[in-house]
Structure 1
Amino acid sequence: MNTVRLRAAQTEELGADQLDELTRLCEVAFDEPFAETWERVGPGLHVMAEADGRIVAHAMIIDRRMYLGHEMDIALDVGYVEHVATLPEAQGAGHGSSVMREIGRIINDEYELGALATGSNGFYQRLGWETWMGPTEVRTADGERVRSADQDGHVMVLRTWRTPMDLALEDPIAVDWRSTEPW
């Protein structure tokens, strides 16, 4: 692979061809259909690594609100990371790490906290992300708290300069419900 460049663009700035390319990238990386994903997730900021005229790695940030503490009395504006993917043939070359470092820089500049859900904690830990150790929950539209125990140990956070100093990774954390995967 030749020169790799990072590029960031809002969803609405991407053309149909680019969204199709991102869809194919995610389908190959996750081995599942992704056709309607962008509409379900909503708009966000995409960070892409491009090499040889194609996108080889991608992640996106969407705006979310998270609630912390036993009483859920701390609400934070969160840069939530979705669809971190690298083409299989481009893995191991640092493209995913480069994309995630840029994601981290943007989150640090613009949000109170970064968050994501993953089964690959080690990859993110080496980039400064921390595993949330407390129970995970989802807040319904009427404010009801529903446990999401299947996500315990899979939610990771990235502290920013605006993250509360007393953030306790052992406290409960909740995210607002959405029609796609809540986390």
Structure 2
Amino acid sequence: MTDVRAAHTAELGDAELKAIRTLLDAAFDGDFTETDWDHALGGVHATVWDGDELIGHGAVVQRRLLHAGRALRTGYLEGIAVRADRRGQGHGAAVMTELERVVRGAYELGALSTAEGVSGFYTARGWQLWQGPACVLSPSGIVRTEEDEGGLYVLPVHARIDPKGVLVCDWRDGDAW
């Protein structure tokens, strides 16, 4: 029997945070950096537990995305992963259901950046591929992030968007998206 939990970073204890970090390190084959970890903190975490074993995680953090002259309050998804031996059993869907509940209840827009090969999972859930240019509002101005195009998805809640328009994310250390 699995248990899905949602909690803000401030409500998680050291053992839970360590379990999340361990899961993310394994799921991203050691390519989950300290900066990536920082991006996943400060918001609401959805976790899936099987007894005392963490098998799934995702977080939604607030960001500002600029589109069509507006700064949109955006629930940005980070650190989405399911333990390799438990994939394909609905645990990722359980994580996403909880994160989407938070996005729909608190934000104008949901957004995420994904790796190749998993886009069908998100589109089946109603997420839309961003088809326009992607940019970041860097310290030196707006800079296009072409390497991220084709991997950005949005979930419109209250925001009116043109998915072929320009989408600009706020600046942060590490990966812009």
Question: What secondary structure is seen at the aligned counterpart in 1 of 2:30?
Answer: coil
Separation in 2, partners of 1:129, 1:46: 19
How many angstroms apart in 2 are the aligned matches of 1:67 and 1:157? 13
**Displacement of 1:33:** 5.0
Quote the residue 2:105 is aligned against.
109
Query: Structure 1 residues 25, 101: closer, same or farther in 2, change over 3 A?
Result: same
- The runs of 5 or more residues in structure 2 that have no matched partner are none
- Alignment of structure 1 residues 134-173 onto 2, 5 Å: 134-141=132-139, 144-160=141-157, 162-164=158-160, 167-173=161-167
* Residue identity matched to 2:105: D
Q: Distance in 2 between matches of 1:150 and 1:33?
A: 17
Look up the SS of the partner of 2:163 in the other structure: coil
In the alignment, does 2:95 pair up with 1:96? no
Q: How many residues align?
A: 174
Task: Verify the 8 A CA contact 1:23 1:35 in the aligned structure 2.
Answer: no
Q: Is the 8 Å Cα contact of residues 41 and 180 (structure 1) preserved in structure 2?
A: no
How much is the aligned-residue C-alpha RMSD, in angstroms? 1.4
Q: 1:67 offset after TM fit, Å?
A: 0.4
Instruction: Give the drift of 1:39.
Output: 3.5
CA contact (8 A) 1:141 1:176 kept: no
Aligned residue runs from structure 1 range 14-163, under 5 A: 14-34=12-32, 36=34, 37-39=36-38, 41-69=40-68, 73-119=69-115, 120-141=118-139, 144-160=141-157, 162-163=158-159
Displacement, 1:52? 2.2
SS at match of 1:82: strand
- Classify 1:10/1:139 alpha carbon distance in 2 versus 1 (closer, same or farther; 3 Å): same
Runs (4+) of structure 1 exceeding 4 A deviation are none
Per-residue deviation, 1:34: 4.0
Q: Deviations over 1:18-49 (max 9, x none)?
A: 11110110111110154734335541110001
Percent identical among aligned pairs is 34
Structure 1 distance, partners of 2:7, 2:92, is 17
TM-score by length of 1: 0.90
> C-alpha displacement at 1:9, in angstroms?
0.9
SS of structure 1 residue aligned to 2:98 = helix
Q: What is the aligned partner in structure 2 of residue 178 from structure 1? A: 172
